[in-house]
Structure 1
Amino acid sequence: MTLLEEAAFHGQPFDIGTVFVHSANPTGAATVVQALTRWNYRVRRATA
């Protein structure tokens, strides 16, 4: 996640498709989704 955020911060976001967040930790997954969405990455949370 940090690498994606840093690239976007420096104006060079990665040209990737959708990031799927899969985690058993709902709070952690929400944090990742929020952070990457803030940098305009397409993010979906996968639920188990």
Structure 2
Amino acid sequence: MSLLTIILSILLPPLAVFLKHGLKTEFLISVILTIIGWLPGVIYAFYVNSK
């Protein structure tokens, strides 16, 4: 993961997932988790982007 991806995963998790995967299921899950709570969105963004 690049430094930009790490920073975006912390600040704007859905944007980080979108830049790597586009408008797929991963992005929708990231948006939902970020709406529920910021921390679940960050954890999911790190998980998806590290695969």
Which category of TM-score, normalised to the shorter sequence, fits these structures? 0.3 to 0.5
Based on CA coordinates, which of the two structures has the bigger radius of gyration? 1
TM-score normalised by structure 1 residue count: 0.40
| Higher relative helix content | 2
